[in-house]
Amino acid sequence: MMHVGIPVGVHVLMEREGRILLMRRAGTGFFDGLYSLPGGHVEADESLGRTAVREMREEVGVEIDPAGLVHLGVVHRRSDTNRVDFFLRAKAWAGEPRICEPDKCDALGWFARADLPANTVAYVRQALAAGEGPWILELGW
């Protein structure tokens, strides 16, 4: 039996006043023009929490405490790859979110769950609809 190395991603939900922070991808060649949660790939020797801290600092310039993260759920999806994405909620953060990687993101916005942009990444939309968790979604199989 052959074992498969599966890419792992982390997405971080930030919410204030009933609105969720989404960023519009640009220039990456992957879901460009679509809104998603901040996040990224887990690097070698990096935990989910450390990935979340690094990605939030790199992408939107905020500091989060990994001890304050809540695990919402997991999406195991089949699309261009066999991939696993973890969804975490940051209960608190320091700093005001801003675009820190303009070569990868061209817009930030706060959106109500019931009024997400039509151009939101499909699996992110499904994960947000799954609620507070814990949940596991298998998509595209």
pLDDT in tens, 12-36: 999 999 999 999 999 988 899 999 9
Q: Is residue 91 part of a domain?
A: yes
Domain that holds residue 132: 8-139
Radius of gyration over alpha carbons of the chain, in Å?
A: 14
Q: Is residue 1 part of a domain?
A: no
How many structural domains are present in the chain?
1
Q: Which of 113, 109, 112, 108 is nearest to 126 (CA)?
A: 113
Q: Which of 21, 4, 27, 8 is nearest to 101 (CA)?
A: 27
pTM score: 0.93
CATH number of residue 109's parent domain: 3.90.79.10
Q: Is residue 135 part of a domain?
A: yes
What is the tens place of the pLDDT at every residue in 82-129? 889 999 999 999 999 999 999 999 999 999 999 999 999 999 999 999
Q: Is residue 2 part of a domain?
A: no
Q: Is residue 19 part of a domain?
A: yes
